[in-house]
Amino acid sequence: MIGVIGLGYVGLPLVLGFAEKNFHVIGLDIDQKKVDSIRAGKSYIEHIPSEPIATAVEKGKLEVTTDFSEASRADALIMCVPTPLNEHFEPDLSYVISTIESLVPHLRAGQVVSLESTTYPGTTDEELRPRIEARGLTVGEDVYLVYSPEREDPGNPDFSATKIPKVVGGTTENCAKVGQVLYESVISQVVPVRSTQVAEFSKLLENIYRAVNIGLVNELKIAADKMGIDIWEVIEAAATKPFGFKAFYPGPGLGGHCIPIDPFYLTWKAREYGVHTRFIELAGEINRGMPHWVIERTMEALNERSKSVKGSRILLMGLAYKENVDDMRESPTFELMDALADLGAQVEYYDPHIPEVTPTREHARWTGTKSVEWTTENIAAFDCILIATNHEAFDLASLLASADLIVDTRNAIAKSGLTSREGQVIKA
């Protein structure tokens, strides 16, 4: 039996992957609503259909519970819990620590424990191993401890959880071998590495690579704008080079649970060794500043129409952090909404994937806010429409027909091939 702790964007696809391979899976989560939904055969994540959940439940391949004592029944326990940052941009391992402490009383000899949450190098050995061994179980002999970073890409139909190569590192050689066997039973390609620290670092490198390159192109966007040059045209031209260049695109900031957060796990850990990770910190500074740049461009665009931000009705299109998903974690749209509201604007949002804002830790003021109804009359009533995420579901033709001012942070209008009126669309 496989136990998966944390039934969110990472844990639920993994559960279904094991169930589809005819494993008996038990999912554990502290959220009773998720447990109830799975028991009813219903998905609570838009890009994951309900059918495989219902099938797994009906066949007896999947059971879910909030009772962590059930963990003793599982042969493998896979932890897929959040690893956010605190207000000082330092790692918050509270979810990882509370989870392992909830599991430890129920551990038994012969089990595999795998951590998939993104974290700094050393976490598995420094935080999990001592707590497991305090139970009287020897890691590498009684219990096999591994780290295997998640690589989930919500909404990407080309890469399901079982088709993405899986990096696996063990605390000991025995742990590594057992962990490799565990994941090879369901993942198409397993990539063994020498230690949990290598596996932990590899995940950070993947996301730091993206964060730094996005920071670079975001900085270049501002420089290009000041020069009267369209950065999107520049990128498309550069992308025709068949070697040595990979296109990254600017935006209103960084979103999702990985790229805005993960790099700072390494920054924090590197300080312990006297290392100042300047590229990471500079990229973070640039990316965190992008919402302010968008606000400035919006203010300028309104001023050109003899309007101030204060009192203006502004609609943000796209609350999700990326296109075509219902995932609003760390979405820069929240930063834009907060800033505009603080300046006195009347702020609303439209997102067909997120009909209502659910509770968040940082943006509680928007909890319960509902997406506006998309009608030509409603859209025409706004002083400014700000495209923060470019969902395929957006009716851009209707937008162009109805809106007087569009601030486009995603180059959505140009990519659509539609024609706008002179001065109607401002890129930001």
The radius of gyration computed from the CA coordinates of the chain, to the nearest angstrom, equals 23
Q: Catalytic annotation on 258?
A: yes
Does the pLDDT of residue 155 top 80, yes or no? Answer: no
Domain count along the chain? 2
pLDDT of residue 154: 78
HSE (side-chain half, CA atoms, 13 Å) at 316:
31
DSSP string, 342-390: HTT-EEEEE-TT-SBPPP-SS-GGGTT-BPPP--HHHHHT-SEEEE-S-
pLDDT of residue 48: 94
Q: pLDDT > 90: what percent of the chain? A: 93
Domain membership flag for residue 208:
no
H or E element that contains 208: helix 196-226
Average pLDDT over residues 10-32: 96
pLDDT of residue 7: 97
Domain membership flag for residue 92:
yes
175: domain range? 2-194
Average pLDDT over residues 201-227: 96
Domain membership flag for residue 400:
yes
The pLDDT mean for the chain works out to: 95
- Nearest 5°: the CA angle 168, 16, 5 is 60
How many other C-beta atoms are found inside a 10 Å radius of the C-beta of residue 75? Answer: 14
pLDDT of residue 326: 94
Summarised one tens digit per residue, pLDDT across range 60-119 is: 999 999 999 999 999 999 999 999 998 888 999 999 999 999 999 999 999 999 999 999
- The DSSP bridge partners found for residue 317 are 350, 387
Task: Tokens 């690589």: give the residue.
Answer: 151
Domain membership flag for residue 210:
no
pLDDT band at 256 (very low <50, low <70, confident <90, very high): confident
Task: Mark whether 171 and 236 lie in a shared domain.
Answer: no
Task: Tokens 């025409």: give the residue.
Answer: 380
Summarised one tens digit per residue, pLDDT across range 175-184 is: 999 999 999 9
Domain membership flag for residue 190:
yes
CATH for 360: 3.40.50.720
Domain membership flag for residue 201:
no
pTM for the whole structure = 0.92
Round to whole Å and give the CA distance between 339 and 345.
9
Does the pLDDT of residue 24 top 80, yes or no? Answer: yes
pLDDT band at 159 (very low <50, low <70, confident <90, very high): confident
Please enumerate in sequence order all residues whose Cβ is within 8 A of that of 173, keeping only pairs 6 or more positions apart, or say none.
140
Lowest mean pLDDT among 53-62, 109-118, 255-264, 268-277: 255-264
Q: pLDDT > 70: what percent of the chain? A: 100
Domain membership flag for residue 126:
yes
Task: Mark whether 179 and 242 lie in a shared domain.
Answer: no
pLDDT of residue 67: 97
Task: Mark whether 168 and 276 lie in a shared domain.
Answer: no
Amino acid at 226: K
Domain membership flag for residue 206:
no
pLDDT of residue 385: 98
Average pLDDT over residues 267-293: 95
| Burial class, 130, CB count within 10 angstroms (exposed 0-12 / middle 13-18 / buried 19+) | exposed
Summarised one tens digit per residue, pLDDT across range 290-335 is: 999 999 999 999 999 999 999 999 999 999 999 999 999 999 999 9
pLDDT of residue 331: 95
